[in-house]
Copies of this chain bind each other. A is one copy, B any other.
Amino acid sequence: MEKKGLLLVVSGFSGAGKGTLMKELLDHYDNYALSVSATTRAPREGELYGREYFFLKREEFLRLIEEDALYEYAEYAGNYYGTPRQYVDEKLAEGLDVILEIEVQGAEKIKKQFPDTVLIFVTPPSADELKRRLVGRGTETAEKIDKRLKRAVEEAKYMPFYDYILVNDDLAESTVRLHDIISSEHAVSARNRDFILQITDELKIVTNEKGE
């Protein structure tokens, strides 16, 4: 019914499985575009410009801020992160549902600018499970895990401001549920004003067609 795509924000605890979930969603459905953030942090091994991030020099990032070319940005651990407007706008206009995978503060900024944005928070079923997953990676020091869990305590405060809570227990199931949530949002009444007005007009015309 609706032509323009939806703007979606997906956030969640580090270790909740957001990244894998996004990959699955994009692999299985063709109505999504994942926004690529810009950052001043250095690329890690295996990361590609334009895939994980647009890796920019500090002065390039500051120019984007100056030109108002970012929907939101924040400084985090000494580096800038932000959402370039152009890609998002283009994909929305193409009718794709655009997903921003961003932090809780960024999510808040986006929602304030665009109250129609759908905010989805991805979480494991329990804190124990979150810890298990972080430890299970086997790549992180105890100190780093502790830092992520402490950050999770802070992030949890934002959960009530999200529209949906997606408990990521089983990856395949969660992918379908995420897709269902987004599809259902397209059916929300407030997003279908044009259809409502149209069928209302049509009904009046059809009712006045006598003798058919």
Contacts and interface: CB of A to CB of B under 8 A. Distances in A.
Interface string A161-182: 1111111000000000100110
Contact of A196 (B156, B184, B188): B156
A206 B132 CA distance: 11
Interface string A129-160: 01100000000000000100110110011011
Contact of A184 (B126, B149, B161, B181): B181
A116 interface: no
A86 interface: no
Contacts of A187: 164-167, 177, 181
Contact of A180 (B162, B180, B200): B180
A144 to B, nearest CB: 13
Give the interface SS of chain A, mostly helix, strand, loop or mixed: helix
18 contacts: A1-B165, A1-B167, A127-B199, A149-B203, A150-B207, A152-B207, A153-B207, A156-B196, A156-B203, A157-B200, A160-B193, A163-B189, A165-B187, A165-B188, A165-B195, A167-B195, A177-B187, A184-B185
CB-based closest 5 A-B pairs: A127-B202, A180-B180, A184-B184, A181-B184, A156-B200
Interface of A: 1, 121, 123, 126-128, 130-131, 146, 149-150, 152-153, 156-157, 159-167, 177, 180-181, 183-185, 187-190, 192-193, 195-196, 199-200, 202-207
